Amino acid sequence: MDHAKDKIITYSSLPIGQEKRTQFDQLADLLVQANAQVNLTAITDEEEIYEKHFADSLAIRLWEGFADIVRSEKKILDLGTGGGFPGMPIKIAYPPAEICLLDATRKKLEAIDVMISNLDLHDVRTIWGRAEELGRNKEHREKYDLVVSRAVAYLPALIECAVPFLKIGGSFVAYKRGDSQEEIDASAHALQELNAEISETIPYRIADGDPRQLVVICKKGQTPDKYPRRPGKPMKKPL
Q: Is the pLDDT of residue 2 over 70?
A: no
Which domains are seen in the chain, by residue range?
Answer: 7-236 (3.40.50.150)
For residue 70, the model assigns a pLDDT of 87
Q: What is the pLDDT of residues 93-119, one digit of tens each?
A: 999 999 999 999 999 999 999 999 999
Q: What's the pTM value of the predicted model, to 2 decimals?
A: 0.95
Rounded average pLDDT over 74-102: 96
| E runs forming strands in the chain | 7-8, 75-79, 98-103, 124-128, 144-149, 166-177, 196-205, 211-219
> Sorting pLDDT into bands at 50, 70 and 90, what band is 1?
very low
pLDDT > 70 in the chain, percent: 98
For residue 5, the model assigns a pLDDT of 66
How far apart CA 139 and CA 42 sit, in angstroms, is: 33
Q: What is the pLDDT of residues 142-157, one digit of tens each?
A: 999 999 999 779 999 9
